[in-house]
Amino acid sequence: TRYVYRFGGSVDDGGNQDKNLLGGKGANLDGMAGIGLPVPPGFTISTEMCTRYYDEGEQFPDSLRGEVADGIAHIEGLTGKRFGDAADPLLVSVRSGARVSMPGMMDTVLNLGLNDQTVVGLATISGDDRFAWDSYRRFIQMYADVVLELDHARFEEALEIAKEDNGYDLDTELTAKDWQKLVEEYKALVQELWGKPFPQDVHDQLWGAVGAVFGSWQSERAKVYRRLNDIPGGWGTAVNVQAMVFGNMGETSATGVAFTRDPSTGENAYYGEFLINAQGEDVVAGIRTPQYLTRAARERAGAKPLSMEEAMPEVYAQLAAVFETLEKHYRDMQDIEFTVERGKLWMLQTRSGKRTAKAALKIAIDMANEGLITREEAILRVDPAALDQLLHPTLDPDAPRDVLTKGLPASPGAASGIAVFDSDTAEKRAHAGDAVILVRVETSPEDIHGMHAAKGILTARGGMTSHAAVVARGMGRPCVSGAGTLSIKAAEGIARIGSREIREGDLITIDGTTGEVMAGEVPTIQPELAGDFGTLMVWADEVRRLKVRTNAETPLDCRTAREFGAEGIGLCRTEHMFFDAARITAVRQMILASDEAGRRAALDKLLPEQRADFTEIFEVMAGLPCTIRLLDPPLHEFLPHEEAEFAEVASAAGLDVETLRRRAAELHEFNPMLGHRGCRLGVTYPEIYEMQARAIFEAACDVAEKSGAAPVPEVMIPLVGTRRELELMKIVVDKAAQAVFAEKGRTIEYLVGTMIELPRAALRAGEIAEVGEFFSFGTNDLTQTTLGVSRDDAGRFLTTYVEKGIYARDPFVSIDVEGVGELIQIAAERGRATRPDIKLGICGEHGGDPASIAFCEATGLDYVSASPYRVPIARLAAAQAAL
């Protein structure tokens, strides 16, 4: 097997641009070389090598040495320099590169190939002593950090001391001699911390770095990142070795990062930052404040230092042409790293740029309108789960704001929460239920868990492309970065802004769209749903087959869901209506009644209330189908649980406390979820379902009478396990319907169906469909009963189950396709065999989960039903599933 793929010059060995083999970075370097863009020559060691490295006890096969030597020879040939040559040394960068970008891994070592001899050669060839010694000290510092994993604070400290001793403020004030002296100190530090001298053999340096890249694949940080992002451990990383080019060779050199479109808003305008006379890490590290790429951006920000467009117009024009070429070639917004070495432009990296949900949406719609991609592709480009971000509230512009400071608008959206100064505390407080804003000087990959737990992130340092900004955008967390007036003393749990202070635990609000940081909580408003969002929804609706309904039981939720495009109600849980303060007493009287007559008397009080509920809902839904589920939970849920409440409840219901206590004790169940609930209530107390059915049909007749648009009730019986149960309940419902129709002198079309939420029901679906006119899969209960895992108690152990790979994802979030899924398939098949036109839907929480929706599409269900805010997500996911 071949493991090394060369690129640059007229060579692109990996011509197929396979990301799985070459990693994202390697595939795109190869791709850029292939379309003739200026890429410094190099080679990629494939991900297959990584896998083999781990299979064989972290060793390289002998054959790799020869392949790497050929790779180095390729670079030497094109650059005319030799690796380790004391006169004119070739220097290389070594970078990791998995299939997808992984901030948790070792990233980059620059200037590899420098040692005590080659540094002299570099100084002579470049004619710049200072540059050469600065490069050498950077190399030692980076190598010590990412390859040898020595404490980088010690190196920073040595640099700070060197500056202090000389009375300098800036790195740029250090002279060649100063850097040379620092190199000696760094080498001594390596000896001290590592116990061995800094490697002088350039080949040892290279193999050390290659080993470190492969080693970083199994680092704790990388593992955490993979877990959070569902990245399989078996993918492995590639290693990219590439000739160095220098952005720090004086005023005609520069380095920068850019996006071909604005990754925050999606606006079709180049976006980026660059630094003259600097090396790559200077831009992202936030040491110097980067300059704008375009004149327009600089002017908009009111910044002084010239933009690249103004300072280097010719190279800028070349760069702009490259942007266009790249977007046409990759047909997506690109995130680019480039370097200008003495006036010559080099492309170091390109990849599809991470973007906010808002930008993803705008870019997808714009690119489809520009003809760069098709509408179908545009639909597939937007992650349904990310739509959530757009549907979330922003700050109310009219609400008073106590603005403490302003930073960069690094990731949009607004969030309030308590200020917390470290990631472990952030995670702890978030688990305890607090909304948390993580406040840091800057973030690093070690903060991923804290950022994930936080509602928002605020940093004192770093630009729009800083770690905090990039990661927050990817996670969909609002972020304000580089709030420079913020002085954070994490150890003391305090941050100061002028005379104001934020203490740990203080409530603050950040607005990632404007960069504002405010004291206290600022109220929010709902987002705008027209524009690009509306367009995408229209396109999605054109291609999806699955209908999307909503789970709702209040007129407000129904209205919200309709605005989001719900095509009916898939689940109206009527018990929610019983908890209403005005009715709970009548409900309790019904439960506590000693005979049917007593129950009926209480139900008579509930009837008009319930009828009014359905009337409102039918009006809002205006002729759309409405699935209404009859009472489901065990009756004791309606009784008080605290001794203190008993007296009050008893007197309200007109009973003595003793009777209430006795009845509550009678109703106690050891296993309520498998107890006296669902249709078992209807079987034992048919008058309850009779009242509910009557309320439904009376409301339907009234609305039909008033509005002319006849409601379409679908009466749903919960927790059915046998045909006979459904048959008995259908008789109750049909009788109520006939009675109401006779009284009202009109008939309404309606269906009677059942939830499939017990394995027995799924297996006996053939005969149940003889009675039921529709099935709705109640996948919450079906998951609980199929897995034998209590949905209310699973939290305690399910995370461990997911961590250990027992379930790939939480089965209450994303359907267990193998188990629960098979039961659904069986039920759908057997139900249809009996009744070919049977309506099939899903109304468990899974109805709003994109992966589960894909399963529903594959199984040929008719609709999914989701909570109102998930309706747009479901529409998009349904469209993607259909493509």
Positions touching ligand PEP (CB under 6 A) are 571, 573, 632, 757, 778-781, 843-844
Q: Give least dist CB 730 to Mg ion, A.
A: 19
Q: Give least dist CB 760 to Mg ion, A.
A: 14
Q: Which is nearer to ligand PEP, 143 or 812 (CB)?
A: 812
Interface mask toward Mg ion for 89-118; x: CB under 5 A: ------------------------------
Q: Give least dist CB 637 to ligand PEP, A.
A: 12
Q: Which one from 479, 558, 572, 843 is the annotated catalytic residue?
A: 843
Q: Give least dist CB 688 to Mg ion, A.
A: 17
By the rule CB under 5 A, 633 interacts with Mg ion: no
Q: Which is nearer to Mg ion, 262 or 757 (CB)?
A: 757
Q: Which is nearer to Mg ion, 336 or 755 (CB)?
A: 755
Candidate list 286, 409, 634, 778; residue touching Mg ion; CB under 5 A: 778
Task: Determine contact, residues 660/654, Cβ cutoff 8 Å.
Answer: no
Q: Which one from 467, 479, 626, 701 is the annotated catalytic residue?
A: 467
Q: Which is nearer to ligand PEP, 350 or 779 (CB)?
A: 779
Ordered alpha helix ranges (H), 143-235: 152-166, 176-194, 202-216, 220-228
| Residues between 661 and 680 with contacts to Mg ion, criterion CB under 5 A | none
Residue 479 annotated to the active site: no
| CB burial string 497-527: b at 16+ within 10 A, e below | beeeebebebbbbbbbbbbbbbbeebebeee
DSSP codes, 264-293: TT--SS-EEEEEET--THHHHHTSSPPEES
Q: Which is nearer to ligand PEP, 598 or 795 (CB)?
A: 795
By the rule CB under 5 A, 31 interacts with Mg ion: no
Interface mask toward Mg ion for 61-90; x: CB under 5 A: ------------------------------
| Residues between 738 and 777 with contacts to Mg ion, criterion CB under 5 A | 757
Q: Which is nearer to ligand PEP, 256 or 718 (CB)?
A: 718
Residue 679 annotated to the active site: no
Q: Give least dist CB 673 to Mg ion, A.
A: 9
Q: Give least dist CB 757 to Mg ion, A.
A: 5
Candidate list 178, 781, 849, 857; residue touching Mg ion; CB under 5 A: 781
Q: Which is nearer to Mg ion, 757 or 857 (CB)?
A: 757
Number of residues that bind Mg ion (CB under 5 A): 3
573 binds, among Mg ion, ligand PEP, none (CB under 5 to 8 A by kind): ligand PEP
605 binds, among ligand PEP, Mg ion, none (CB under 5 to 8 A by kind): none
Q: Give least dist CB 332 to Mg ion, A.
A: 42
Q: Give least dist CB 624 to ligand PEP, A.
A: 19
By the rule CB under 5 A, 568 interacts with Mg ion: no
Q: Which is nearer to ligand PEP, 366 or 757 (CB)?
A: 757
By the rule CB under 5 A, 129 interacts with Mg ion: no
The alpha carbons of the chain give a radius of gyration, in whole angstroms, of 33
What would the two tokens of residue 233 be? 């451990």
Q: Name the phi and psi angles at 293, rounded to 5.
A: -80, -50
- Reduce the DSSP state of residue 406 to 3 states and report it: strand
- Nearest-angstrom CA–CA distance, 196 and 163: 27
Helix axes 152-166, 176-194, angle to 10 degrees: 150
Closest to 333 in 3D by CA, of 443, 541, 473? 473
Reduced 3-state DSSP string for 447-498: HHHHHHHCCEEEECCCCCCCHHHHHHHHHCCCEEECCCCEEEEHHHCEEEEC
DSSP codes, 15-35: TT--HHHHHHHHHHHHHHHHT
| CB burial string 578-602: b at 16+ within 10 A, e below | beeeebbebbbbbbbbeeeeebeeb
By the rule CB under 5 A, 337 interacts with Mg ion: no
Q: Which is nearer to Mg ion, 575 or 727 (CB)?
A: 575
Pairing of strands 4-8, 11-12: antiparallel
Region of 179-187, 406-414, 520-528, 779-787 interacting with Mg ion (CB under 5 A): 779-787
The vertex-451 CA angle with 528 and 871, nearest 5°, equals: 35
Q: Which is nearer to ligand PEP, 332 or 632 (CB)?
A: 632
Q: How many CA atoms lie within 13 A of 92 on its CB side?
A: 31
Give CA torsion, residues 14, 17, 18, 21, to 10 deg. 40
The vertex-515 CA angle with 514 and 518, nearest 5°, equals: 105
Q: Name the phi and psi angles at 410, rounded to 5.
A: -85, -30
Residue owning tokens 């479901």? 874
Residues 6 or more apart in contact with residue 646 via CB below 8 angstroms: 640, 657, 660, 661, 664
Q: Give least dist CB 680 to Mg ion, A.
A: 13
What would the two tokens of residue 631 be? 């009472």
Q: Give least dist CB 778 to Mg ion, A.
A: 4
- Nearest-angstrom CA–CA distance, 49 and 207: 14
336 binds, among Mg ion, ligand PEP, none (CB under 5 to 8 A by kind): none
Closest to 524 in 3D by CA, of 624, 435, 628? 435
- Nearest-angstrom CA–CA distance, 375 and 378: 5
- Nearest-angstrom CA–CA distance, 327 and 367: 10
Residue nearest to Mg ion (CB): 781
Ordered alpha helix ranges (H), 476-595: 531-543, 555-563, 575-578, 584-592
Binding site for Mg ion (CB under 5 A): 757, 778, 781
Q: Which residues are catalytic?
A: 467, 843
